[in-house]
A and B are shown apart, each in its own frame.
Chain A
């Protein structure tokens, strides 16, 4: 039981490049989400999904796309990277109903130059 697995752990991009951050969970959680963490800003929700085929925007969705084709996977796509997207990204998952713990991946440190 691996929990929530994110790849890559580190990434450097040039402005304008695109890339996909991968997130997979093996706990059969319906709810998956992506957060970005910036110094002094806490964790801010980018996009979330309540099940396969269903996604929605969070607090800071601009510049990011997501899709959810399976229960297990929830990739985050940066369409055209900008320096403002330099951040640490965390994927998290939990059961959909009830007050349940959110489990986080190990994070991806992204630098856009």
Chain B
């Protein structure tokens, strides 16, 4: 089955700096890559996703890049703010049908004031 590795497990950045979280996946058939943000005590919520026919997608301060050849994708957050502090999960799936999401182990992002 699919295996998703996520790094780093903890990332501390100064407010206003950029943060990058990286994930690799093992199944070349995977074609859908969402990112979820989970605030303390809350449910995971989708913040951005990318499909395999796209190399990059941006939404305001967050962007995701995908390299299908290398089987890795990354989350980029620019101009970090205190409300960005959370745990971020990457995931991969073959997209729809019975195939579920395989999640990485998560990155705890800490924004230092």
Q: A43-B44, A106-B43 are in contact. Are A101 and B96 (CB under 8 A)?
A: no
CA distance A102 to B47 in the complex (A): 11
Contact A105 B100 (CB under 8 A): no
Name the one of A45, A90, A97 contacting B43, with C-beta atoms under 8 angstroms.
A90
Residues of B close to A98: CB separation below 8 A:
95-96
Whether, in the assembled complex, B18 has its beta carbon less than 8 Å from a beta carbon of chain A, the answer is: no
> A interface, how many residues as a size bin?
20 to 34
CA distance A21 to B87 in the complex (A): 25
> B interface, how many residues as a size bin?
20 to 34
Whether, in the assembled complex, A12 has its beta carbon less than 8 Å from a beta carbon of chain B, the answer is: no
CA distance A45 to B93 in the complex (A): 13
Once A and B bind, how many residue pairs between them come within 8 Å at the CB atom?
58
Name the one of A33, A42, A44, A96 contacting B97, with C-beta atoms under 8 angstroms.
A96
Contact A101 B105 (CB under 8 A): no
Name the one of A48, A90, A101 contacting B98, with C-beta atoms under 8 angstroms.
A48
Residue from B49, B100, B106 with most neighbouring chain A CB atoms (10 Å): B100
Whether, in the assembled complex, A26 has its beta carbon less than 8 Å from a beta carbon of chain B, the answer is: no
Contact B43 A99 (CB under 8 A): no
Residues of A close to B105: CB separation below 8 A:
40-42
Report the minimum CB–CB distance from B41 to chain A (whole Å).
Answer: 8
Residues of A close to B106: CB separation below 8 A:
40, 42
Q: A90-B43, A99-B51, A101-B34 are in contact. Are A40 and B9 (CB under 8 A)?
A: yes
Residues of B close to A35: CB separation below 8 A:
103
CA distance A50 to B42 in the complex (A): 26
CA distance A100 to B93 in the complex (A): 11
Contact A99 B31 (CB under 8 A): yes
CA distance A44 to B89 in the complex (A): 12
Residues of B close to A106: CB separation below 8 A:
42-43
Residues of B close to A40: CB separation below 8 A:
9, 105-106
- Using a CB–CB cutoff of 8 Å, the interface residues on chain B facing chain A are 1, 6, 9, 31-32, 34, 42-46, 49, 51, 89, 93, 95-98, 100-106
